[in-house]
Each structure stands twice: as structure tokens, then as C-alpha cells.
A = this chain, B = another copy of it.
């Protein structure tokens, strides 16, 4: 109930650079630290660190190939992360809806009181 979330997954997805990396890996169907860094405003080493975080979170898999290390998105795990994002959103959405309904009821009650004052 209290938005208890797999914190590793959320924080992995929480960083803006890592989100862009996931975007690139998805649209390109994989990549290496070097190819990613060419399309991002950070150095290869920064990208490598992020890939480590994503790997530990299970969001990507790595395949060594000669002197390269190719990374690909783990779609099932990313789907889990998406589900958790939606869950948080849904929780807050529900509460905001409840608040909105209560506010409307209060306003309606006040309107009733002003329209038909039965007592002095």
C-alpha cells in the first residue's frame, strides 16, 4: 500500500543519463560503452559506470566479443521497472482523485447551505 518499491530498479531508472542510455539501447538494439558515449554528452567512463549500475539492476545483459563488450536491454526486467513506475503513479493518482472528490463534496455542501438555509 505504502508505495513499497524495488529501490534498485527505481534508482537505476531514476537517473536521466541512464534513461537516455536505455532509450538508445532500445532504439539501436544494443551498443557498447564507446558507441553510447558518442551519442551522449558524457565520457565513455561515465557511460561504463552507468552500464555497471544497469547490469547490477538486471536491466541490461553484456556479451563480450573480442575487445568489445556489447550491451543489450533485458526487456522483461525493463517491463518490471515500467510496471513499478505505473504503480507509483496509480497510487498518487487515486489519492488525488479522492481529494478532488472530497473537495467537490465540501463545495456542494456549502452551496446547499447557502441556497436553502433551513435554520437561522
Contact = CB atoms under 8 A, between A and B. Distances in A.
Interface of A: 2-3, 5, 7, 10-11, 14, 16, 19-20, 22-23, 26-27, 75, 78-79, 81-82, 85-86, 88-89, 91-93, 95-96, 99-100
A5 B85 CA distance: 15
Given A11-B14, A14-B14, 7 more contacts: A2-B20, A3-B19, A5-B19, A10-B14, A22-B92, A75-B99, A85-B88
The 4 A-B residue pairs with the shortest CB-CB distance in the complex, in nearest-first order:
A14-B14, A85-B89, A82-B89, A26-B95
A11 B17 CA distance: 12
Kindly report how many copies of this chain are found in the complex they form together. Answer: 2
A18 to B, nearest CB: 11
A26 B16 CA distance: 26
A75 B92 CA distance: 10
Contacts of A99: 26, 75
Contacts of A11: 14, 16
